[in-house]
Structure formats: C-alpha cells, structure tokens
C-alpha cells in the first residue's frame, strides 16, 4: 500500500533514524492491525458525521480537540480491523435509554459501511479480518462498551451478537445490576450470578468478554468463569501508571494463563501520572473561567469548544509522548508475555492523544518505537493484531463446542 496521494502521510519523529523508520513502516504495512477501541460512532449518531468528511479542524463536544478518525486517516493508519465502540454510558442506562442508544450506534456503523463500500466492510469473524487485509479493505467491527445495553436480558445479548457485536465491555464507569465498575460502588462484590451467566453465554456465542472499565474483582471473576480468552479492549498497565482503568500485574499473569490480550490505551492520563496530575490541577485552577465560558456559550457548543481549546492552549500542561505507549507494552510483555499485549487506542474517546500523535494516521509511531527498541518483526505483528486474532479465533472455537442453553433474563436467574 502506498500512502502517496493521501492527505495524511505518517510523520517521521524528529531525530529518527531514516533507515529504522523505513524498516518500521515496511513492517507496519505488512502487518494485520486490529485496534480494540474507537469512539467515532458517537459523532456518527449525534452529529450525523460522515466518515468521508475530513475530520481535522472539527471539534469534539467535550474535549476541544479535532476528531482522530475519518476515512483518509483510517487508510493512512494501516489498520485492517477497527473496533467501533457501541458506547452506552451509565447515565444513559439510568435514563432508561441504554438499548435504543446501542441500536442507534450499530445502525450508524452499518450505514458508514454501506456508504463507503470501496473502503469499509462489516466484519464479524477473524477469518474476515484476514480476508479484508488481502483485499486492501478496512473491517468495521463492533464492540458494546457498557453491559447496560443488554438491559439484564440474555435474549438481548444474543440479538446483539446476531447484529454483529463481537465483544462487550461489561461495565462503563457505573456499577449496575450484575457487575461492578472500576471506580463505581461495590454492588455485586464483582460479578453476580447473572453476571456469570452473561459470561458463559458470551462464551457460547463467541463474543469476547472485555475487562476494561470493570473492578479488579470482576476481572478475576471473569477469569474464573470464562472458557475463552478475554480481552481488555482499551486498558493499559497499572504497574506503569497506577490508575483504576489499568490492569494490575496479578491479573496480567492470569490473562497469560487464559490466552487473552490486554490492548493498550493511548490516553495520556492512563499512560502517565504527571500528565494526569497537571490536567487535574489545570481544571481546578481554570474552573472559574470555564464556568464563565459555559454561561457565555450556553447555546453554542461549537463556540464553547473553540473557547475552551484556546484557554487550554494558553495554559499548557506536560503531555506524555507516544513512546510511553510502548513503556506499557514493554511492561505487559515482561509480566504476561509478548503473546498477551495488543493496541486499543481509544481514538475519539479521549480529549487528547500523546504528544506526536494527531490521530489515527500516526499509529505507525508505535510500530517505529517497538522496532527501535529491538522488538522483532514477529513480536511487532503479534502486538499490532496477531495476538487479538489468535484470541478471537480461540473464542470462536470455544463457541463452536458449546450447546444452546435455555436461560433468558435476570428475573429468572437471580
Ligand atoms: Zn472506555
């Protein structure tokens, strides 16, 4: 694949050795790359955003930074499988709108694939991702973020599978009726009995269980119950950055036994303590100005975004750079092994990316940094996609071996 003619060529990092960079790009373009998490479906639904629209210069509602994703940047990134996040938050659940929200987002992803068949194709199986690579196409895959979406119904879970959903993050940031979130209240002491039934049913279907966002107790309960490899679709290593959204070392060791994959999140706040602290301090310091802007632009979200962006630009903080992503990959490699680490960018789910990364088009920086640190081509390919494909294929095999069971809803299974 050549990037000539693309509006977004990958930018070589300052001071990089051209030979090492060229070698890295060669490995990158040959590899099957699967990214565990992308939140662009939100804007697809809420703003009628079309992926053909050049997203640079547009501004996210809550973050003030340009989108990270559009068709041209997706192509430049070299990604073959992009997991579009069917994100349903705790607030949507509490408002009683979890399932319809998920339905809107699934439809939006299908519509993008229908509008842009020359580049996008809906994929639901590992073999389809491998085939898409040969056809030089990009797979749109879907994962539900937030188990609220199934509204305590295995009937709904099965229908989401039939619609093409291939993983489910059991919670977002709010604990619910059958699983506890990483920073939420302890409602179930981990997974409830119904929660365990959800995991078993996901195994039977061939839907991957995603332990991003859940409490450590839920991570362990899932590992106790699941017969198939699990994933963390967008979480980093707690051993490098102690944050509840990241995965602790003892769980990493269990994931190695389970055959699963921890797909590293690129959000600077999850990667680096200093960035996180400076960000929090800045928000506290600028609160009076931000409150004032909110009043001033009460009916003009674009105007607010622009004003917020300017205010933040005038008050810069330390933002860790892309090399920090590879510190997390190194750590997971050390603790769990090279077979259990992947990438889960969280593009368009985060207000900003590590220094050096403007959006999807800069994904090759991660490959470059691994290559520079001496990772072999085989190791790099594992991290970029082969580990995920192996786990997915294993989950498909587990599904093929399991019988239909009869359970239906939380009411029946307490
Ligand atoms: Zn998330």
Model confidence pLDDT, tens digit, residues 22-73: 999 999 999 999 999 999 999 999 988 899 988 876 655 444 457 899 999 9
pLDDT band at 309 (very low <50, low <70, confident <90, very high): confident
Close Cβ partners of 344 (under 8 Å, ≥ 6 residues apart): 35, 36, 37, 83, 212, 232, 233, 234, 235, 263, 264, 265
Determine whether 308 is an active site residue: no
Query: How far does residue 169's CA lie from ligand 1's centre (Å)?
Result: 9
For residues 130-163, one letter each, b for 16 or more C-beta atoms within 10 angstroms of the residue's C-beta and e for the rest, the string is bebbeeebbbbbbbbbbbbbbbbbbebbbebbeb
Query: Vertex 255, ends 368 and 32: CA angle to 5°?
Result: 35
254 within 8 A of 220, measured Cβ to Cβ: yes
Give the mean model confidence (pLDDT) for residues 392-399.
Answer: 96
DSSP 340: G
Comparing C-alpha atoms, which of 49, 151, 144 is closest to residue 88? 144
Determine whether 39 is an active site residue: yes
- Measure the CA–CA gap between 91 and 5, rounded to whole angstroms: 43
pLDDT attached to residue 168: 98
Determine whether 145 is an active site residue: yes
Query: How far does residue 387's CA lie from ligand 1's centre (Å)?
Result: 21
pLDDT attached to residue 7: 43
Comparing C-alpha atoms, which of 103, 37, 57 is closest to residue 350? 37
Determine whether 47 is an active site residue: no
- Where helices occur in 150-272 by DSSP H, the ranges are 154-162, 193-205, 216-225, 249-258, 268-271
Q: Exactly one of 35, 145, 180, 339 is catalytic; which is it?
A: 145
Is pTM beyond 0.85? Reply is yes
Close Cβ partners of 52 (under 8 Å, ≥ 6 residues apart): 70, 71, 115, 116
pLDDT band at 300 (very low <50, low <70, confident <90, very high): confident
Query: How far does residue 16's CA lie from ligand 1's centre (Å)?
Result: 32
Query: How far does residue 277's CA lie from ligand 1's centre (Å)?
Result: 20
Give the mean model confidence (pLDDT) for residues 185-211.
Answer: 97
Length of the chain: 414
Quick one: what percent of the chain has pLDDT higher than 90?
83
Q: Exactly one of 28, 68, 172, 243 is catalytic; which is it?
A: 172
Determine whether 70 is an active site residue: no
Determine whether 328 is an active site residue: no
Q: Exactly one of 39, 70, 308, 348 is catalytic; which is it?
A: 39
336 within 8 A of 253, measured Cβ to Cβ: yes
Determine whether 234 is an active site residue: yes
Q: Exactly one of 68, 176, 213, 340 is catalytic; which is it?
A: 213
């Amino acid at each position: 694949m050549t990037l000539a003619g693309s509006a977004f060529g990958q930018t070589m990092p300052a001071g990089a050795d051209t030979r090492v960079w060229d070698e890295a790009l060669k490995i990158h373009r040959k590899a099957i790359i699967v990214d565990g998490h992308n939140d662009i479906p939100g804007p697809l639904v809420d703003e009628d955003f079309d992926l053909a629209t050049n997203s640079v210069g547009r501004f996210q509602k809550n973050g003030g930074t340009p989108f990270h994703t559009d068709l041209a940047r997706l192509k430049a990134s070299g990604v073959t499988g992009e997991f579009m996040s069917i994100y349903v938050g705790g607030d949507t659940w509490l408002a009683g709108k979890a399932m319809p929200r998920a339905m809107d987002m699934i439809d939006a992803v299908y519509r993008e694939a229908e509008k842009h068949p020359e580049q996008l194709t809906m994929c639901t199986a590992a073999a389809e991702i491998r085939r898409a690579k040969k056809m030089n196409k990009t797979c749109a895959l879907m994962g539900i973020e937030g188990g609220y979406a199934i509204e305590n119904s295995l009937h709904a879970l099965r229908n989401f599978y039939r619609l093409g959903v291939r993983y489910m993050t059991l919670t977002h940031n709010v604990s619910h009726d059958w699983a506890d979130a990483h920073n939420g209240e302890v409602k179930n002491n981990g997974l409830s009995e119904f929660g365990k039934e959800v995991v078993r049913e996901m195994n039977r279907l061939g839907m991957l269980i995603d332990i991003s966002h859940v409490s450590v107790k839920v991570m362990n309960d899932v590992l106790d119950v699941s017969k198939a490899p699990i994933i963390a679709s967008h979480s980093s290593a707690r051993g490098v950055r102690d944050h509840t959204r990241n995965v602790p070392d003892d769980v990493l060791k269990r994931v190695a036994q389970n055959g699963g994959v921890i797909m590293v999140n690129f959000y600077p706040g999850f990667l680096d303590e200093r960035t996180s602290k400076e960000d929090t301090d800045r928000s506290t310091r600028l609160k009076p100005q931000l409150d004032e802007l909110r009043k001033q632009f009460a009916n003009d979200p674009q105007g607010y975004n622009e004003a917020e962006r300017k205010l933040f630009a005038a008050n810069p903080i330390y933002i860790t750079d892309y090399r920090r992503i590879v510190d997390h990959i190194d750590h997971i490699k050390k603790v769990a092994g090279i077979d259990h680490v992947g990438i889960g960018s969280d593009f368009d789910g985060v207000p900003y990316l590590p220094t050096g990364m403007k959006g999807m088009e800069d994904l090759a920086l991660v490959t470059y940094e691994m290559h520079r640190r001496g990772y072999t081509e085989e190791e790099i390919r594992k991290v970029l996609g082969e580990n995920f494909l192996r786990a997915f294929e294993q989950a498909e095999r587990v599904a093929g071996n399991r019988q239909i069971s009869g359970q239906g809803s939380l009411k029946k299974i307490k």
